[in-house]
Chains A and B, each alone.
Chain A
Amino acid sequence: MEIKVMKDILVNNNLIAEENANLFKDKGVFVLNLMASPGAGKTSFILKTIDELISSFNIAVIEGDIASKIDAEKIKEKGIPAVQINTGGACHLDANMIKNSLEFLDFDKIDLLIIENVGNLVCPIEFKMGENLKVVILSIPEGDDKPLKYPAMFSESQVLILNKIDFLHLSNFDVDKLEERVKGLNHEVEIFKVSCKTGDGIKNWADWLRGEIYKVRLEGLKSKVK
């Protein structure tokens, strides 16, 4: 006997992601899922973002790595609450891992939660966690062909951060080609060119993110009034 199922294979993950999203919405927390290859600059980018936005928002970070606490320690040195998830082998974070981390943070005192995913351009894009925004970082030394090689990641991220632009003069990276490739996959993508080393472009990104956070807050308030 055949039974129609028609369910997303990741239905269990997606249900937990939705639970997480409802909690975040309820507590007025904006959540960002930050993805990139190892070494593209995820942690540096978070540290620079914190510097720009710390006067506007209460920020917390969830760090995901296979091993080591080094990233969470860097965040905590800034006085920002950080939870380190060590997956022990899993190549991505998922909704359940985030759900299990939530008890270690006080969401009544958080406006912005940044989740630094495991360094990987392949798997993290498959696993929703309840985030408002997916951000992918590509750094200049990695090359301008990565959107062609990892189309899912670049199709489904709303923001592309092009990091290490201070390396441009040392490489053959074609920024126009890169932009065309990414916009070909997602014509609505927001692209920010930055250098975490020099600070170039960071304020522009932070101002945009501030606007997005306020937009979501306003929508939240409007729906509560209704």
Chain B
Amino acid sequence: MHELAIAESILSVVLSQAEANKAKKITRVNLKIGKMAVVVNDYLCYCFELISKDTIAKGAEVEIEEIPIKRRCFACEKEFEGEHLGLICSDCGAVGLELISGRELAVESIEIE
């Protein structure tokens, strides 16, 4: 629903990085998006394409690395990976698996000319 706002944020971040490096063109944007981030990746790419048309990021390839959902038991610290995790530790029975990855929304790097 707010992919447009997020695309605008990405554009702002990459344009300022490009300016700092005196780039003439941004050819690629590498993102890290957690599997539990509330974003639809295809729609995000579409929004970015639309709003970057009149900028040096026009035509930039957007590559998204999906970060898996990982949780850690707060009691015994065992780690679990997966989307459909139960929330009770299968090792020690504690109720509470804290999220340690899967909500990322980050610009990892850009490629410029």
Q: Once bound together, how far apart are the Cα atoms of A5 and B19, in whole Å?
A: 13
Within 8 Å CB of B14, what residues of A?
A: 5
Say which residue of A3, A9, A126 sits within 8 Å of B109 (CB atoms): A3
Task: Choose, from A50-58, A176-184, A216-224, the stretch at the interface.
Answer: A176-184
Task: Report, as a range, how many residues of chain B touch the other chain.
Answer: 35 or more
CB distance from A103 to the nearest CB of B (A): 23
- Against A, the Cβ 8 Å flags (1 = close, 0 = not) of B32-63 are 00001110000000000000000000000000
- CB of A91 within 8 A of CB of B6, answer no
Within 8 Å CB of B109, what residues of A?
A: 2-6
Whether a CB of chain A sits under 8 angstroms from the CB of B87 is yes
Whether a CB of chain A sits under 8 angstroms from the CB of B103 is yes
Within 8 Å CB of A12, what residues of B?
A: 9, 12-13
Q: Once bound together, how far apart are the Cα atoms of A126 and B106, in whole Å?
A: 13
- CB of B113 within 8 A of CB of A1, answer yes
Say which residue of A4, A6, A90, A185 sits within 8 Å of B87 (CB atoms): A185
Whether a CB of chain B sits under 8 angstroms from the CB of A128 is no
Q: Once bound together, how far apart are the Cα atoms of A6 and B29, in whole Å?
A: 11
Say which residue of A9, A126, A181, A185 sits within 8 Å of B10 (CB atoms): A9
Within 8 Å CB of B21, what residues of A?
A: 1, 3
- Against B, the Cβ 8 Å flags (1 = close, 0 = not) of A1-26 are 11111111111110000000000000
Say which residue of B6, B17, B98, B105 sits within 8 Å of A3 (CB atoms): B17
Interface size on A, residues (CB 8 A): 31
Within 8 Å CB of A184, what residues of B?
A: 86-88, 95-97
Whether a CB of chain B sits under 8 angstroms from the CB of A129 is no
CB distance from B99 to the nearest CB of A (A): 6
Whether a CB of chain A sits under 8 angstroms from the CB of B94 is yes
Say which residue of B10, B74, B111 sits within 8 Å of A187 (CB atoms): B74
Whether a CB of chain B sits under 8 angstroms from the CB of A152 is yes
Q: Once bound together, how far apart are the Cα atoms of A90 and B18, in whole Å?
A: 29
Whether a CB of chain B sits under 8 angstroms from the CB of A186 is yes
Whether a CB of chain B sits under 8 angstroms from the CB of A155 is yes
- CB of A5 within 8 A of CB of B107, answer yes
- Against A, the Cβ 8 Å flags (1 = close, 0 = not) of B74-87 are 10000000000011
B interface residues with partner A (beta carbon < 8 Å): 1-2, 5-6, 9-10, 12-14, 17-18, 21, 23, 31, 36-38, 74, 86-88, 94-99, 103, 105-113
6 A–B contacts, CB within 8 A, in A order: A1-B113, A6-B107, A7-B106, A94-B5, A184-B86, A185-B99
